[in-house]
Amino acid sequence: MSTVNAQTLIVEKTANPVSDSDREALLQNPVFGRVFTDHMVTIEYAPERGWHNGKVRPHDTLQLDPATLVLHYAQEIFEGMKAYRLPDGGATLFRPDANARRFHNSANRLAMEPLPEDVFIESVRALVRLDQKWIPATDGAALYLRPFMISTEAVLGMKPSAEYLYCVVACPVGSYFKGGSPAVTLWVSDQYTRAAPGGTGDAKCGGNYAASLAAQAEATREGCDQVVFLDAVERRWVEELGGMNVFFIFDDGSIQTPPLTGTILPGITRDSLIVLARDMGLTVREERYSIDQWQQDASSGRLREAFACGTAAVVTPIGKVTGRKYNFTIGDGGAGPVTGRLKAALLDIQNGRAEDRHGWLDRL
């Protein structure tokens, strides 16, 4: 019944694109998430029409009735991905099929109408093709893409919406952390948790972020950069940060990351780094790691490095961990060598400087 398919997106070009000189100026030093490209994608869903009215059109405001369901019950999901500039001047996406699949899974968890995965991928490609002049060429920079879906039925009834809007916007981004990646300090939240068993921890939904903001505000007050969340049941196992997965690197060269048990977001960066680490001959374990063990191993020197990872900030070294009961430094508190090698291996593939052995690039 879906009337939109991968081939039927209608392109309506803006009559007022940002001028070449203004765009070049904006691309020099983009602030994360504040500058948007000329166009966006919108596709609508209604029960009797299926997915319809698919367009790539000028970036603009949305108009919503105040009763629109998403504004009240947060039925919303999103994705985060990037388009990269290649050395030959071309452009590529990185594993868009993985984002499409995760978006589908998130839709199911939030009782939303899943968007066909090929439509997701084609919508992102179409937007990047049209706005490809917006992909910065500077090292570490990229075009960040934000596909998302909201429930749009205007009714205050507590039920899954019958209607949805899927949208993709894009913004050029520099390195997430200015001046490379300095090590971050984490705050161990003992009061708040991010996700409970049976909850929405493995869905990429705005509600998870809303629930993590008080903990993030506490971390900021305590002089830390980010929160590290522990599991909600035993308050003991390290899960992830508000928006990044975590890895630990040991003195025997092995690497560990918490397993995907349903309360952790299955990061595509996480998955890619596991593959790349194994390619390098490193042993990777997906096993639980307790906060007490982390403190003990950091003190004894058994733990050499730790880092957080995600599409936006790529790979970020963790230098210190602080909390009401914790205070420890990892290694010398700076970026470690294995972290650096993994980050370089990933960026080299994404920027077309290394062979794409796993077929992760989707050249446009």
- Residue 316 as a binder of ligand PLP (CB under 6 A): the answer is no
321: which 2 tokens? Answer: 């961990």
Q: Which two tokens stand for residue 177?
A: 């952390």
Q: Give the one residue of 193, 200, 311, 351 binding ligand PLP; rule: CB under 6 A.
A: 311
* 56 or 171: CB nearest ligand PLP: 171
**Residue 317, interface with ligand PLP (CB under 6 A)?**
no
Asked if 268 is part of the footprint of ligand PLP (rule: CB under 6 A), the reply reads yes
263 binds ligand PLP (CB under 6 A): no
Between residues 245 and 322, which has the closer beta carbon with respect to ligand PLP? 245
Show the 3-state SS of the chain.
CCCCCCCCCEECCCCCCCCHHHHHHHHHCCCCCCCCCCEEEEEEEECCCEEEEEEEEECCCCCCCCCECHHHHCCEEECCEEEEECCCCCEEEECHHHHHHHHHHHHHHCCCCCCCHHHHHHHHHHHHHHCHHHCCCCCCCEEEEEEEEEECCECCCCCCCCCEEEEEEEEEECCCCCCCCCCEEEEECCCCCCCCCCCCCCCCEHHHHHHHHHHHHHHHHCCCCEEEEECCCCCCEEEEECCCEEEEEECCCCEEECCCCCCCCCCHHHHHHHHHHHHCCCCEEECCCEHHHHHHHHHHCCEEEEEEEECCCEEEEEEEEECCCCEEECCCCCCCHHHHHHHHHHHHHHCCCCCCCCCCEEEC
Which CB atom, from 30 or from 267, has the smaller least distance to ligand PLP?
Answer: 267
- Name which of 267 and 331 has its Cβ closer to ligand PLP: 267
Compare residues 55 and 82 and give the one whose CB is closer to ligand PLP. 82
How do strand 255-257 and strand 245-250 relate by DSSP bridges? antiparallel
Question: Which stretch, 149-157, 163-171, 223-231, 236-244, contacts ligand PLP (CB under 6 A)?
Answer: 236-244
Among 37, 257, 269, 295, binds ligand PLP (CB under 6 A): 269
Q: How many residues bind ligand PLP (CB under 6 A)?
A: 13
Kindly state the smallest distance separating residue 18's Cβ from ligand PLP, in Å. 27
Shortest Cβ 245–ligand PLP spacing (Å): 5
Is 240 a residue that touches ligand PLP (CB under 6 A)? yes
Q: Is 80 in the site for ligand PLP (CB under 6 A)?
A: yes
List the one residue from 112, 265, 291, 313 that touches ligand PLP (CB under 6 A). 265
| Residue found under tokens 């305590």 | 222
Residue 243 as a binder of ligand PLP (CB under 6 A): the answer is: yes
Which residue in 152, 245, 263, 339 binds ligand PLP (CB under 6 A)?
245
For the CB of residue 110, give the shortest distance to ligand PLP in the complex, in Å: 14
Q: Which stretch binds ligand PLP (CB under 6 A): 13-21, 51-59, 266-274, 328-336?
A: 266-274
What x-and-dash track marks residues 199-218 binding ligand PLP by CB under 6 A? -----x--------------
**Residue 350 to residue 135: CA distance in whole angstroms:** 13
Residue of 30, 96, 267, 336 interacting with ligand PLP (CB under 6 A): 267
The residue ranges that bind ligand PLP (CB under 6 A) are 80, 204, 240, 243-245, 265, 267-270, 310-311
